[in-house]
Structure 1
Amino acid sequence: MNLSINKEYLLKTAKEILSFDSPTGFCFDIMKTIAKRAEDFGYDFETNNKGCGIITIKGKSEEKVIGLSAHVDTLGAMVRSITSSGTLKFTLLGGPIVPTLDSEYCKIRTREGKIYTGTFLSTSASTHVYADSSSKKRDPENMEIRIDEVVKSKEDVDKLGICPGDFVFIDPKTTITESGFIKSRFIDDKGSVACLMGLLELFNREKIVPNYTVKILVSTYEEVGHGASYIPTDITEMIAVDMGCIGSDLSCTEYDVSICAKDSSGPYDYNMVTDLVNLSKKNDIKYAVDIYPFYGSDVGAALRGGNNIRGALIGPGVHASHGMERTHYNAFENTIKLLYAYLTK
């Protein structure tokens, strides 16, 4: 397949999207950017009541409507309580690998919009003080957030305006290497959102019209299970574009587009999966078919929500999911190629 994918645009978009703070439930700022990009390309954008974005690409036929989805919400944390010594206890948003948070920088946003910086730390943070500094379990009960302000008590923190329920943004540390690797937290699933923006750029630049109308759902609550529980009622089939897993008993790499045959919610539509495999073979797209036992997608949420659709799941291969993740530009390119092939077949 000879597609003129704009690599510079795709990587620049990925870095911008990955740099936004958008933990699940707090996606307001990033959705404004997604809306502007879609509208600049000439596509209609609307928002549903819970903040998910819907981008419409008119097709040659409206006989059916194909849905694509990717989620812009990420893992994160929220202030649970304030300790007597002026540190913060936290509760998780989604399922980050908690030991990877130890010594990670973060920001705390108050309800009034004030931002403070801080660091996730073990409550036994110093090897010179605590015998269990290395062995203590890293979990929310044994960790806290140290605020970069002069605070010595709960009352001092109260004066800053920090309260339980305030969002905590985890530093994504996004880096793109000269060799084409994208290293960052939250490539799951902002990498896929970048792929969909790259697809829009391609369609707009090359004046490509898909065979059928396409509606792209950019969901905001996927990490807590209900991102696409409601979708436009005219969607008849849907592909969730989400990260492919890499590891034991799996064939996907950081260079592939993953095609998931089954995850924890059950098998994906057999005929759609077969189409995706055959299109990959026909167009020499580097792909892998795998089964993900500890995984759920927006398609699963849509089906559980009672939507009458067929569904599939594809996405770029991502290493070390829910920790310090990494993928490669080739996985983005292969994902876009497969989406293009499916929408124009």
Structure 2
Amino acid sequence: MKTLTITRPDDWHVHFRDGPMMHAVLPHTSADFARAIVMPNLEPPVVTKADAIAYRTRILAALPSEHDFTPLMTLYLTESTEPDDLAAAFEEGVATAVKLYPAGATTNSASGVRDIDKVMPALERMARIGMPLCVHGEVTDSDIDIFDREAVFIERVLDPLCRRLPELRVVMEHVTTKDGVDYVASQPENMGATITTHHLIINRNAVLAGGIRPHYYCLPVAKRDSHRLALRNAATSGDKRFFLGTDSAPHVDAAKQTACGCAGIFTAPNTLACLAHVFEEEGALDRLEAFVSFNGTDFYGLPRNRTKIVLERKDTPLAPAGHIETGDGTVTVFDPMFPIQWNVAHAAGTAPPSLVAKGTA
């Protein structure tokens, strides 16, 4: 196959950051995707309706004029979140979902939830009004092995919550284990799960074997290969509960390549090319459109996009995208460790900003 035409996709989990970083990374998402669920873990976090309005305003001001893109805002759940404010943000179209970070689970999560009982009034209100809850599905207990924290979260937090509030719409974000895949597949269709591009490609060897590679370090951390294969099976299965959430998460190289490097992988510039490669490997190119364009849209109850994009397969691999320059510093782009032969053929005026090839900056 040389070309593949699909409905323009959406990204159901992305980090834009703020300020100069946001101005640099936003166009790499808005060139390819029509909408994206924007994570709220800024400093300070996006907690209230007013915070979400202000952040959305900054995003739209940074958006290239030729890009047709809608940011979908989320609120950061804290133990002092006001249910009335949360409900007003949803009912007025300001916020699409709420994000639950266990305190200390990932970047800028110190304000997250420590006691699930303290946020039950907010969750009960969300269940009544149909507002989705996006969860970072890991416990943070120091005595729990980092590779087991997703499975323990399901057992200790997620399953009891779903039994307590069965009508709550839940997205288990960036699922990384067979445990997570199996749990989501066993649930009613008011539960979904996002799968990232990089977790379909890397396992924990990419991070640790032959030396520590900080640009493959993310949270949740990549697991053993049997889990990666389970994610591939889920993504290519056609099961509508699984959909793309890139978790594209830029950090400047200085913050990654240090004694205590930040977690996050910047995949926005080449996500669709990498996904086409993965789905082609799995003999499932006919299911790529559902994964990137339909399943998440349907879960969130939004209309499917009407425009199309064309993916082209080149005979000669494309030059790898090494990094981008931002006002905050250099950000390395995800290297999938295979030649990229798929390319997004953009309509006029929607080409992403140029990338700096490896070794040229």
Answer yes or no: same fold by TM over 0.5. Answer: no
Structure (1/2) with the larger strand percentage? 1
Instruction: Point out which structure has higher relative CO (alpha carbons under 8 A, 6+ apart).
Output: 1
Structure (1/2) with the larger helix percentage? 2
| Higher gyration radius (CA) | 1
